[in-house]
């Protein structure tokens, strides 16, 4: 398997997998487990991002990473919006283990202001917005700078979503194939 677990102490991050809770746009858990996994190559880029954020007194809070293909179908059935969700017939970078949804947190574990919440499916979530606070604009640019310097590509409609370049070249995984026990 090319997916590895993301957890402390190997990865100095906080994890709050939103799709394992009611606190997501569906209003109910999609996963039965809040485990966090990434493809080995994505995990290496995450380590680089962690190393870049640390001297700034910042860490990451992860909302989602590997998303089994069954979960992508559930999300799509709830909200079939190609501006914010990948069509599961084509496959999501999340279902390949090469995408991550996250934000920056300070030393106390408080998320930085990004202008919108995670999975707020509105134009205000797009990169480059100037109609959010200056602080939120700076924080989004800081997050983007750290992530892109660490080897991640960004998705223009979601300030929280990053994926590996050429993400479509990686294998799609179901929960059963991946053996993650998330579904």
pLDDT tens digit string along 51-88? 999 999 999 999 999 999 999 999 999 999 999 999 99
* 52-58 contacts at long range (C-beta below 8 A, 24 or more positions apart): 52/146, 52/149, 52/150, 53/104, 53/146, 54/12, 56/142, 57/106, 57/107, 58/104, 58/105, 58/106, 58/112, 58/142, 58/146
Task: Evaluate if pTM is beyond 0.75.
Answer: yes
Query: d(Cα 126, Cα 91) in Å, to the nearest integer?
Result: 22
Query: d(Cα 96, Cα 38) in Å, to the nearest integer?
Result: 8
Domains, the chain, ranges and CATH?
3-178 (3.30.1380.10)
DSSP H helices in 54-164: 69-78, 134-149
Nearby residues of 110 by Cβ (< 8 Å), 6 or more positions away:
none
Q: Active-site residue numbers?
A: 158
The 8-class DSSP code of residue 172 comes to P
> What is the rounded average pLDDT for all residues in the chain?
97
Q: Is the pLDDT of residue 50 over 60?
A: yes
* 41-44 contacts at long range (C-beta below 8 A, 24 or more positions apart): 41/98, 41/164, 42/97, 42/98, 42/99, 42/100, 42/164, 43/4, 43/6, 43/11, 44/151
Contact 114, 103 (CB under 8 A): yes
Q: Is the pLDDT of residue 170 over 70?
A: yes
């Amino acid at each position: 398997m090319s997916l590895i677990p993301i957890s402390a102490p190997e990865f100095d991050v906080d994890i709050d997998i939103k799709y394992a809770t009611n606190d997501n746009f569906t209003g109910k858990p999609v996963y039965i487990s809040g485990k966090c996994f990434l493809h080995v190559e994505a995990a290496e880029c995450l380590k680089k991002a962690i190393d870049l954020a640390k001297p700034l007194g910042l860490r990451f809070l992860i909302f989602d990473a590997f998303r089994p293909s069954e979960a992508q179908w559930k999300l799509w059935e709830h909200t079939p919006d190609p501006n914010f969700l990948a069509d599961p017939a084509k496959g999501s970078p999340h279902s390949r283990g090469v995408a991550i949804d996250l934000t920056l947190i300070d030393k106390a574990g408080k998320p930085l202001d990004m202008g919108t919440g995670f999975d707020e499916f509105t134009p205000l979530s797009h990169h480059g917005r100037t109609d959010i606070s200056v602080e939120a604009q700076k924080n989004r640019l800081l997050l983007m700078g750290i992530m892109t310097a660490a080897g991640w590509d960004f998705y223009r409609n979601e300030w929280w979503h990053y994926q590996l370049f050429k993400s479509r070249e990686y294998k799609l995984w179901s929960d059963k194939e991946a053996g993650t026990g998330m579904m």
